[in-house]
Amino acid sequence: GIDIRALLQGARDMAEVCKRKSDVLANPAITYATARYLLYHKHKTIEILAVFEPYFHYLSEWWKQLFGESEGKDGKGLFPAAVVFTTDLHSMGQYIQDGRRDLFETFVVTEQSHHPMVVPDVETDVDGMNFLADMDLAYINHQAYRGTASAHHSGGVPNMTVTLPARDAYSIGQLLYFFEFAVAVSGLLLGVNPFNQPGVNAYKENMFKLLGKK
């Protein structure tokens, strides 16, 4: 049900942006790759991709694969991890706030709500949540993002945000190409080949041997 033409058009348009703009600050993918590289050299060795919509769960899983297999070579590279907020704020959020200071966060948020949903006013207010009445759930979620980013930054965790105009095929296409271009630049900055995955073969060889494959 996804508009594949819109997704590809988003990727094409982001490719033009990345190809056309040589100024680092005018090229979002190079800006992102450069920020990661600078943080890596400040001993921030773990990057956490934090999303605030369950819809982006599998996108974050793809992101982990992309950056893990592209950068993790020759004893180098950032360790890619991912969380889905607000769900993980009561587990991983504790570690991010007060744990080791060897990590930073990249948030992915959207500007527009896909399905507007307003919190109703409940006459009994048993749970004391009526202060949220008449607010859109997307608005509440965005305030959770703002509060989280501020709290983690105050706790010593640098963070940056990638903002999508909407949660649609075109914007997702842009985001996919953005990360693909950025990881290529990141690999080159680290001095590794971002286009191979030699380490993956090690477990395969062991597994095949244990299973008796000749």
Cα dihedral angle (58, 99, 69, 49), rounded to 10 degrees? 30
Other CB atoms within a 10 A radius of the CB of residue 1 amount to 3
Residue 204 a catalytic site member: yes
Of these residues, 44, 47, 69, 152, which one is catalytic? 69
> What's the alpha-carbon Rg for the chain, to the nearest Å?
20
Distance of alpha carbon 186 from alpha carbon 39, whole angstroms? 12
Other CB atoms within a 10 A radius of the CB of residue 61 amount to 12
Distance of alpha carbon 98 from alpha carbon 93, whole angstroms? 9
Query: Which residue in 179, 144, 213, 212 sits closest to 61, CA to CA?
Result: 179
Place of tokens 């709500």: 113
Of these residues, 19, 76, 114, 204, which one is catalytic? 204
Q: Which helix (H) or strand (E) holds 2?
A: none
Query: Which residue in 44, 42, 46 sits closest to 67, CA to CA?
Result: 46
Residue 214 a catalytic site member: no
Beta strands in the chain (DSSP E): 46-51, 79-84, 103-110, 159-164
Of these residues, 41, 43, 90, 115, which one is catalytic? 90
Residue 142 a catalytic site member: no
- The residues annotated with a catalytic role in the active site are 69, 90, 204
